[in-house]
Structure 1
Amino acid sequence: MSSLTFYTTAGCHLCENAASLLSQLKTNRAVNIVEVDIAIDEDLVERYGTRIPVVRRNDNLRELGWPFTLEQLESFVQHEDIFL
């Protein structure tokens, strides 16, 4: 099972769009998604504040930043060698 971290925050409409895609992804494949609100950590705000939504693979720590499609998200989860 793939494991992802989804960096987001309240009031982020792009994050809502990404969350919808992640929900669709979960219907197509076994994936564990941990949602992290960057507002809880100053370092996360500094790192992701202007980049969210961001999805990180927990096995290789690669990140997929917005904008992305469902197809790009599926490819990101499936392939180890993708850089987006």
Structure 2
Amino acid sequence: MSDLILYQRDYCHLCDFALAVMAEACAPDFDSVWVDDSGELERRYGTRVPVLRDVRDGRELDWPFDAAAVRAFLEK
């Protein structure tokens, strides 16, 4: 299990963009979690996805973000 989670939705074009940004940022391995699969996650992230979360400290990076923002998020 990774320390990073990217919360996504099925058929979400913004989530597809976020995956490309994560690759551009050379982000370390992360887990993808689809909020559509959970009522709790749907309530928490339904209108915010994609969201990158660091499970070690609970910080979250909401969309929109670019590669520079991801790198800065990871450096903290």
Query: TM-score under structure 2 normalisation?
Result: 0.90
Q: In structure 1, what is the equivalent of residue 70 of structure 2?
A: 73
Once superposed, what is the RMSD of the aligned Cα atoms? 1.4
In the alignment, structure 1 residue 46 sits paired with structure 2 residue 43: yes
Larger Rg belongs to: 1
More RCO (CA 8 Å, sep 6+) = 2
Query: TM-score under structure 1 normalisation?
Result: 0.82
List structure 1 segments (4+ residues) > 6 angstroms apart after TM superposition: none
Which of the residues 32, 42, 60 maps onto 1:63? 60
Deviation track 1:34-70 (CA, whole Å, cap 9, x = no partner) reads: 0001111000001000000000012111000001110
Q: Using the aligned pairs only, state the percent identity.
A: 33
Unaligned runs of 5+ in 1: 80-84
Query: Are the counterparts in 1 of residues 25 and 71 from structure 2 also a CA contact under 8 Å?
Result: yes
Q: How many pairs align?
A: 75
Unaligned runs of 5+ in 2: none
